Each structure stands twice: as structure tokens, then as C-alpha cells.
A and B are shown apart, each in its own frame.
Chain A
Amino acid sequence: AQKITQTQPGMFVQEKEAVTLDCTYDTSDPSYGLFWYKQPSSGEMIFLIYQGSYDQQNATEGRYSLNFQKARKSANLVISASQLGDSAMYFCAMREGYGNKLVFGAGTILRVKS
């Protein structure tokens, strides 16, 4: 079974608007961490935001926020005020328990239109 599911292969958003990228996960471990990474066409993986399973509040980092709904096992990334430079592939990833391996979702390609 897929541990990380990103159901949107591609998304378009108008510049300056907000966009939500979906991510659902599957784990039976009560301790886990959820990550979002951005991968532009250059290929580098850029860390955006992290949410721990025991964190009480949703994580925020500048224009990025994570809408964490634990009961629904979803960890959607919200990008506010989209910019042209936000066009990239976005990956959701999970680290379970005390392990150190990351499992990645299939990714969502985001295109910001001017």
C-alpha cells in the first residue's frame, strides 16, 4: 500500500493566488514526521516545511503552511501569494517512528501563470 499519496499530478495557479497541494499518508506508528520539498527543474531538493505527529499547531514557514489533519491523515501544503518562481515539482514525504528513512509521494507539478 502507498504510504504517501499525492493525487494531483499537476496544478495550475494564477500568480498572487493561494494554492493547496494535497498529501495523504498511511502509518500505524504514532510517532512520525511529514516533510514537503520543492524540486525546481535544476533538480535540487529544497526543504520547505516540517510537521511532527505530536505537534499541536500547524507548521508555517513564510508563505508556506501545512494544513495538518491528523484524524484524516492528511498534510496539505498551502502556498500563499504564488510567485512565478514557485513553479516546480513538489514532494510530500514521511519519516516513521525512530527510523531515518524518508518515503516520498509521487509529486505534484505546480505551474504558476502570470
Chain B
Amino acid sequence: GAVVSQHPSWVICKSGTSVKIECRSLDFQATTMFWYRQFPKQSLMLMATSNEGSKATYEQGVEKDKFLINHASLTLSTLTVTSAHPEDSSFYICSAQSWTSGTYNEQFFGPGTRLTVL
């Protein structure tokens, strides 16, 4: 399968700072990237869907100004957690998907980023 990377794999920051997480598709062009959030022993919750070159579509209840998503190229999407607070501590996972022959292909997941806000 295709490879998706995330950077960093873990980050610890102070409350009030901003943190940027990168998601890259290494061997395919991702027309769509997804960002998920996962709390311990819970399921993945979709935060937003981003298509290359357009604004992200956020799920209900997700603060757009808090979680800034940029999908500037077909291989890179970034999630910036602005003014992070302890409640933002979580595991953030991205996935990437390509579109070929009029159909969506399988989503490939990154390894995740563990964010801890002190």
C-alpha cells in the first residue's frame, strides 16, 4: 500500500502555544486528506476533510479557528493547533486518498502524532 508520513510523531508544548503537524503522502498524489482525533481507548473522530487547493470542510463541533488546516499541495497537508490548551492533548491521525477513474480510492493512514499540552 501507499505510504503516508506524519511529523512530528510526538510533541509536548506549553499551554498557549501553537503546534503544527504535517501529513505527507510519499508515493502518490493525495487529492483529499483527512484529519482525525482520537482520545485514549476511543474511536477516531473525523475533524475535517481537506481537498488540495481549497478550504477544508470541518465536521460539526470542530472549531475552524482553533484547528487550522492547509492543503497546499497534492502531497502535503498541515494541521495547526492554535493556542493549545491541555484539553487539546490527543492523538491526531491523518489519512490521504487519491481520486482516479471517477472513484475514490482507499484511505491510507499516517502513523499519528501524539500531542501533549502542559
Contacts and interface: CB of A to CB of B under 8 A. Distances in A.
Given A42-B111, A91-B44, A101-B49, A47 B1 contact: yes
Contacts of B95: 45, 102
Nearest to B102: A98
Interface of A: 37, 42-45, 47, 50, 89, 91, 95, 98-107, 109
Interface in B30-68: 32, 34, 41-46, 49
Interface residues on B, range: 20 to 34
Contact of A100 (B44, B104, B109): B104
A28 B44 CA distance: 23
A101 B34 CA distance: 8
Contact of B106 (A47, A105, A107): A47
Contact of A91 (B43, B91, B104): B43
B4 to A, nearest CB: 10
Given A91-B43, A106-B43, A43 B112 contact: yes
Question: DSSP class of B's interface residues: helix, strand, loop or mixed?
Answer: strand
Contacts of B42: 106-107
Nearest to A103: B46
20 contacts: A43-B93, A43-B114, A44-B111, A44-B112, A45-B112, A47-B106, A47-B108, A98-B104, A99-B104, A100-B104, A101-B34, A102-B95, A103-B46, A104-B44, A104-B45, A105-B43, A106-B42, A106-B43, A107-B42, A107-B43
Contact of B107 (A44, A102, A109): A102
B25 interface: no
B97 interface: yes
Residue from A42, A99, A101, A109 having most chain B Cβ neighbours under 10 A? A101
Contacts of A47: 1, 106, 108-109
